[in-house]
Structures are given as C-alpha cells and as structure tokens.
Structure 1
Amino acid sequence: MQIEFYKYQGTGNDFVMIDNRSDTFPKEDIELIAQLCDRRFGIGGDGLILLEEDPEAHFKMVYYNSDGNQSTMCGNGGRCLVAFAKQLHVIENEATFNAIDGLHHATVGEDGLVSLQMIDVVDIKQTPDYSFLNTGSPHHVEIVEDLAHYNVKENGAAIRYGELYGKAGSNINFVSKIDDTTFSLRTYERGVEDETLACGTGATAVAIAMHATAVTAATAINLNVEGGKLTVTFDKVKGGYTNVFLKGPATFVFKGSITVSN
C-alpha cells in the first residue's frame, strides 16, 4: 500500500497529515499509525491526523497519538489541520471542523498564523501544588523553579503514571512566570510518553490555570514553548472561561509518499 502524506509543524509540534476524504486509510491499524509516526522507521511525528468529510462542517479531524491510538483534542494539530485544509483548497481563510470534543472555528490570518477556538472551560481543580483542567485534553499544571533545567520526562512520567490520575493518566505541564502576561512551559504528553516541543491544549490549560489561580489578571497570555511562541486569549464569565482562542504558526514542512505492507 502506498500512502500519500503531508508533514506540518506548529511550534515544533509535528504531525503526519493524510487526506482521508476518500475513506481509504486503514484507521483501525494501530501498528501502522505508530510505524508512520516513528522517527527512525517511518515518517516521524508527534501524531497523525486524518482530514475527513463531515456532514455539518468543512471537515472532520481524527487525531492519533504517536503510539497509534486515537486520542483527545490536539490544539496545535487542529491549527495545522486548518492550514492543511487551506493547502488542499477545502477552505479559504475560515473553517469550522468537527473533532472529538465537538465543533471548532478557526481563521488563517494574512500573517499565516492560525487562530483556533477551543472548548469552554468550566471545571478547574485547584490545589496548593497544582491545577487540573480539561481543554479538550486533560492537563496537570504545576509551577516549578528553574524550568530550563527541570527533568520534564522523569517528573512528568512520575505524575502521569502515578496514583493521581489513574490508568487514563494526564498530560503534565511545568510552568514558570516571566511577567504578568508571559509564561514559559514545558509539557510531557501522554501517548507520546515524552516531552514535546509544544502542546496547544497544554498552552491553553496553562493560560487559564494561571488566571484562575490569580497568578495573573491578564486575559491575553503569551506562552513560550520549546518550539516557539503561542498566544491564548479568553473571556472570564460566571462559572468558567469562554471565547478561548489558541493562536500561533502552522507550517507546511514537506509532502511525500511511503510504501507500507498491508
């Protein structure tokens, strides 16, 4: 079987993109998806995303982690998929698409940056040591000292596999404050089981958690991730957060085809 693919990255979060509007990709083949995401024996990526037809939107997003399993929402992946849809002429500069957590709206600016509306956030667990919230995917948010030298993989895995989140686990974000509108973060992603250069739902979670815990009063937050810069904006309303937008670059890297055994 020969598979045509596109490679995109958003602040270093990289994805294998496949146009599956013909519904021919073997989407239940976990081993194949993991192989395609493998950086030594495949194409390489933090995840694989299928663009599919949808009856109520411009397209549907189906997202898989690099371990081959279908997963929850991926913010940077969603932004990259919008750029991919534009490249395929499925959209021009605006999109509505369906994902596992519902409908999302997005725009592509003249500067090429993609702004993606995320889900509203209502429930935020706050403790003296960390916050926990779902921004389309579950996220643990914790402020740490000396983030640049912090062992994200070891400490992230310990929390992800610890008693706190059970078998399902969580994505783990470690944060440091730069100023009232800027934070740096590093993320351990479940499904990748390692630190990634960026995480869109993680950046969204950090921005909202910092506001919810009164670390900042800003509603427009700049996030420094290992692969670049993202911006999260939101409105605080009674009972939670709405009009949540994740904005940043979504870059086409290359296109190719790969032959795999059936």
Structure 2
Amino acid sequence: MKKTELKEFLDAKVVQYNNPKFIESDPIQIPHQFYKKEDIEIAGFLTATIAWGNRKSIINNANRLMDLLDHAPYDFVLNHNETDLEKLQPFVHRTFNGSDCAQFVKSLQHVYKNHNGLEAVFAKHAEADSLQKSISNFKSVFFEIEHLQRTQKHVSDPLKNSAAKRINMFLRWMVRNDNAGVDFGIWNSLSPKQLSCPLDVHSGKVARKLGLLKRKQNDAKALLELDLALRKLDANDPVKYDFALFGLGVFEGF
C-alpha cells in the first residue's frame, strides 16, 4: 500500500471508530461519568491504570472502584482518612490490589496538594514532540512520598524501555480534543502533537501488518518507531490513528 493509500485507509477507519459509539465498549466510559475536571482526571487515571486484560472486566472493576470512591474521586483523594482507605482493601484487578489502590489515593493527594495536580506534573517536563520524559518524571513525583515498593510496578517508565501503553492512553484521553465526544481535551497546557500511540498487542499487530512498525517487541523503541511513522501521516494529531489500529485489531480481526 502506498503512503497516500495507507493514509486514506487509516483516516477512514479513524472516522469509523472515533465516535461516541466507541465509548460503549471502552474503559473511557468511566471518566465520562463525571463533569468536573479533577474527577475526570482521577477517574481516567485510575481506570487507565487497571486497563489490561479483558475489557469487560476492566470496565466492571473500574466501576467498582468508583463506587469505593463514593463516585466523588477528587473529594475522596483530597479528604480521605485511614478508615476510608480501609474500604479499598478488598479491591483487586489482576495484580493491582487494595494496598496498591490505597497507595495511589495517597500519591494522588500528594500530586494535587503539593504539585498543582496531574496536568501540571505531566506538563512540567514536556518536550516539543514527546511526553515520554514527562511520564518518567511523573513516576518520580508520584512515588516521592513514603510508598509500597510493590506499587511502583503499576506506573510505567518509558526511560526504562516501557511502551507505557496505559499512561499514553490516559494522556490521549486528557489532551486530545477530537470534537467527537470521545477524548476529553481538557488539558490545554499540552498538545496532541506531543502524544504517543498507546501501543499494545492489538495496535502493534496491525501496525506491523501495515508496515508502520518493524520492531517485534512492544517496548519504548517500538513506540518511537510507530510515533515517527504516524507523525508522517498527521504531525498535528498522530494518535488519532490509535482508533484505526485498535479498531482494526479488536473489532475487525485485521
């Protein structure tokens, strides 16, 4: 497929999947339950954190987590006490358990009280065409308070060769304004051109079939290779193609 044909094909798939119907079967439906910026951010971040495995299970457990946070995630994060944190102990999604959950709430409180919130932390080390250093810096800030060592594995670090799929997906949700009602676009201090594609099994497989990616592992090096390819198709909004790659892989078995 020539570059112009590939772009036309993928642009058509973006239109097909980047619409409100996508929300019905995607974890992004969880932050869509909220209207306040901080509630959307926190619900989105926690949902993205557990977004691996069966999608139905992700959505069910993310809804359960919102129940445990009294459907007021920002208020819970800011004003929780030890008794509130004990309520989180039964929560489990794969290897993310109640202790991890309590640690995330404490770390989020630290981010909002001492670092001006999630957007400010991610914006601080942003580069013109990448947020991968920002993600690494975010992890440092997130765990600069006393924390459980085991919980560190639930925040990826691109500078240690992780593709950081879930955080890149979260950043897409927050930064990209698609005018279609799917991604929120509530972070004005960052631009869609800085985003990276959430690289997972589905998007990676499709990207390789289409010749957008040669590297076999889904790691930070593969992410950079895919980023460069997608920026050639649309420098201002490269991660819109996440909808095309994911849709082709999950819904069409491409």
TM-score under structure 2 length normalisation: 0.27
Q: Between Structure 1 and Structure 2, which shows a larger proportion of strand residues? A: 1
TM-score under structure 1 length normalisation: 0.27
Q: Between Structure 1 and Structure 2, which shows a larger proportion of helix residues? A: 2
User: Greater relative contact order (Cα 8 A, min sep 6): structure 1 or 2?
Assistant: 1
